[in-house]
Amino acid sequence: MAQERNLRLVRDDSAEPGVRLGDIRLRNRLVTSSSLLGYGVANAKVMAYGMSPISNFVPLERFGAVTTRTVTVEPREGHFTTKDDWELRELPGLLKRYGQALRQVDGGWLNAFGWCNVGIDAYLRDYYPRTRAQNTIMSVGGFSTEEFVTLVDKVNAAVPVGEIAALEFNVSCHNVNFDFNKIIESVLAEAVPRSNHPVILKLSPDYDYIGHARLAAKHGVSALTAINTVKGLRLDPETGTPLLKNGFGGLSGRAIKPIGLRVVKELRDADVTLPIIATGGIRSFDDCREYFWAGADAVSLGSASWFASYPGYALSPIYGARIRNLLRRIENYTPPAR
């Protein structure tokens, strides 16, 4: 199985169209990044798919896979909220909360949501059954090996083999104030072999990503996501206080695209052969091609595609049309041979 999981992206000649990253089946090479679309469905009519109104104008079932918000064993308010059924009259309160956990900065976004989520049991009970039309990558996170083992066991019990694309292990988030270096090897050694589903490891550019990629290959991980957000800080120039409630946050968007490209290229230069799902500042077809040339096997749309300034969301139908066009191009694109 470990040898099979180290296979690069190949065409799938079975009756079901799509591509494979080792034992991970994608519908195409374009996926969505964790958290941006919530759980793939929500309880609110205003933002039916999570945080981005743009998603109302894009067919999520056409993506290679939709990655969920990171879910944990127990519900977490984090630095935001678990509530997702906001009404229009509650919009001012919602915007105030967003202002403490998400800020637009030069060239991107700084966030510190802190793994706010409803917990794995509620997700599997209330959200996952409503997203069967999508191909799902479930993002899971924890603060110990035992928590990752529990998450794997719960998903194994609730989700039959083959019903999702993969589990993504988020062992690299910056805004939960935890040093994941302490647990990553034991998490991979104990939780990966228990999973009935392929496992993706999400890498941080602020950790030893080459070393972690090699650990992933050693322990049977199927693919890598490169990269997670970059740890950042912004201060109010008038008061010197941090813009975010958590202080530090994760920087995403156009500003980190050169970092993402560097990490993907360095992984390939280090002879890491696991399939790579690249993310970081991707918005256009040219962005995708750059990542493919650097060595990626699939690409993921994050905040550069799904977020806009609040007034900018009035253009959501136009942004949605741009994403649909990108989907069409990627569906018909073959990455360069390596």
CB 110 within 8 A of CB 243: yes
Q: How far apart are CA 103 and CA 64, in angstroms?
A: 29
Please state at what angle helix 285-294 crosses helix 316-331, rounded to 10 degrees.
40
What amino acid occupies position 240? G
Q: Cβ atoms within 10 A of the Cβ of 268, count?
A: 15
Which active-site residues does the annotation give? 173
Q: Report whether 216 contacts 274 (CB < 8 A).
A: yes
d(CA 21, CA 200): 10
List CB contacts of 166: < 8 A, sequence separation 6 or more.
Answer: 24, 65, 137, 138, 197, 198, 199, 200, 222, 223
Q: What is the spatial distance between Cα 66 and Cα 46, in angstroms, rounded to a whole number? A: 20
CA 264 vs CA 61, 86, 108: distances in Å:
27, 38, 20
Query: Residue 229 has which token pair?
Result: 């957000």
- In 3D space, the residue among 227, 220, 265 whose CA is nearest the CA of residue 6 turns out to be 220
